[in-house]
């Protein structure tokens, strides 16, 4: 089977998830038509680029609106190869066009599909609350067919994971399981018990890329953020200034960061650390997704942030820097004890 991530332009930042989908769809391709499959096969692109049509009882169809949707879809598919900073304006323009279709063709299948794509674009922009709102708007219509419902539930679950709402994500996956069980199974790693909120963070004692020891147990007493990232991950680089700003604001209050790099080449990591004057430790083993700590924490998407409280219990998992900042602010308010580690 030709690698799906190559055919569909799946960003590298979703590496292991792509492998999961390739295995799933090797089996599914025998049982289902391609038109049904593609919408979910490219889930790790964060929005569907398959061109599937929507089937919803009681809604009309408008050929002109359908052409506009197809035009927008094709434009969006080209953005997956662009850098995040370059593509942002195009996504925002697409949102305006989709909003116009939603309003002008209200009561049609195309209007409902425009809402779905609106949610997907918000996902790509990391505006997860907005994404969930639009996916819920689609799901509120009870007469959509099972394929469209499965796609919407899938991306809603991804948005909820992105914002760190694991409990709600599990509910969405439970609903997805009643429609497409194998698609729901692909969330196994992201929603595993290892990463459940309130659980003790998996311990590790390793050396960073400079040879210094990083023992998570010694970070107790602080608020610790684990950042899973790589220099080749464009969304990670996009979020980095926010992380650096947050660290500068909170580090004197006992907030620590441990970077876990999924880079291939240590020189890429070394160069970026020196260029950005990063002063928190960076763990590197050159094994990408199969590295010891990414495997321990079952990381499948980057960036992933894991916030730990002063007892090293997991309080947030996701890729939303704003949500992470809110969590850290809340945790600082809960406990004003002096940090034990500097």
Task: State the virtual CA torsion across 269, 271, 277, 279 in degrees, nearest 10.
Answer: 30
Among candidate residues 185, 214, 247, the one where a domain is terminated: 185
Host domain of residue 323: 197-334
- In this structure, the answer to whether residues 115 and 256 fall within a common structural domain is no
- In this structure, the answer to whether residues 146 and 50 fall within a common structural domain is yes
- In this structure, the answer to whether residues 216 and 286 fall within a common structural domain is yes
Query: From CA 305, how far away is CA 144, in angstroms rounded?
Result: 35
Q: Per the domain annotation, does 191 fall within a domain?
A: no
Residue 14: per-residue pLDDT: 42
Residue 182: per-residue pLDDT: 83
**Consecutive sets of 10 residues in the chain, 342 residues long: mean pLDDT of each?**
35 40 38 32 38 66 91 82 75 93 92 94 87 95 86 90 78 89 74 67 93 94 95 90 93 94 94 94 91 88 91 88 88 67 48
Residue 127: per-residue pLDDT: 85
Q: What number of other Cβ atoms are within 10 A of residue 271's Cβ?
A: 12
- In this structure, the answer to whether residues 141 and 239 fall within a common structural domain is no
Q: Per the domain annotation, does 286 fall within a domain?
A: yes
Query: From CA 228, how far away is CA 254, in angstroms rounded?
Result: 20
- In this structure, the answer to whether residues 140 and 61 fall within a common structural domain is yes
Q: Per the domain annotation, does 291 fall within a domain?
A: yes
Whether residue 174 contacts residue 183, with contact meaning beta carbons closer than 8 Å, is answered with no
- In this structure, the answer to whether residues 147 and 227 fall within a common structural domain is no
Structurally, how many domains does the chain consist of? 2
| Beta pairing partners, 256 | 224
Q: Per the domain annotation, does 151 fall within a domain?
A: yes
Residue 193: per-residue pLDDT: 47
- In this structure, the answer to whether residues 160 and 295 fall within a common structural domain is no
Residues 6+ apart with CB under 8 A from 328: 223, 225, 246, 250, 255, 307
- In this structure, the answer to whether residues 181 and 37 fall within a common structural domain is yes
- In this structure, the answer to whether residues 153 and 276 fall within a common structural domain is no
- In this structure, the answer to whether residues 159 and 219 fall within a common structural domain is no
Q: Which two tokens stand for residue 157?
A: 């679950």
CATH of the domain at 240: 3.40.30.10
- In this structure, the answer to whether residues 181 and 201 fall within a common structural domain is no
């Amino acid at each position: 089977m030709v690698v799906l991530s190559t055919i569909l332009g799946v960003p590298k930042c979703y590496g292991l998830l792509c492998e999961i989908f390739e295995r799933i769809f090797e089996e599914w391709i025998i049982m289902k038509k391609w038109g049904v499959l593609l919408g979910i096969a490219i889930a790790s692109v964060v929005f569907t680029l398959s061109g599937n049509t929507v089937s919803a009882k009681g809604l009309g169809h408008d050929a002109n609106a359908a052409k506009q949707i197809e035009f927008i879809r094709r434009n969006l598919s080209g953005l997956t190869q662009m850098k995040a900073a370059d593509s942002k304006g195009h996504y925002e323009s697409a949102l305006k066009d989709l909003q116009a279709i939603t309003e002008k063709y209200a009561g049609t299948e195309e209007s409902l599909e425009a809402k779905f794509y609106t949610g997907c674009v918000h996902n790509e922009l990391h505006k997860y609350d907005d994404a969930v709102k639009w996916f819920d708007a689609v799901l509120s219509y009870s007469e959509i067919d099972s394929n469209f419902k499965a796609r919407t539930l899938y991306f809603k679950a991804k948005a909820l994971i992105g914002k760190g709402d694991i409990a709600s994500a599990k509910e969405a996956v439970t609903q997805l399981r009643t429609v497409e069980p194998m698609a729901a199974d692909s969330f196994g790693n992201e929603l595993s018990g290892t990463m459940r909120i309130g659980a003790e963070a998996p311990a590790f004692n390793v050396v960073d890329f400079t040879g210094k020891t990083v023992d998570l147990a010694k970070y107790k007493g602080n608020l610790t953020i684990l950042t899973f990232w790589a220099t080749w991950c464009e969304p990670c680089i996009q979020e980095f200034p926010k992380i650096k700003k947050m660290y500068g604001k909170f580090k004197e209050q006992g907030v620590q960061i441990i970077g876990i790099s999924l880079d291939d080449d240590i020189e890429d990591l070394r160069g970026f650390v020196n260029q950005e004057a990063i002063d928190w430790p960076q763990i590197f083993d050159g094994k990408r997704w199969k590295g010891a700590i990414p495997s321990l924490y079952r990381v499948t998407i980057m960036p992933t942030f894991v916030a730990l409280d002063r007892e090293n219990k997991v309080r947030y998992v996701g890729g939303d820097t704003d949500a992470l900042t809110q969590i850290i602010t809340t945790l600082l308010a809960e406990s004003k004890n002096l940090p034990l580690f500097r």
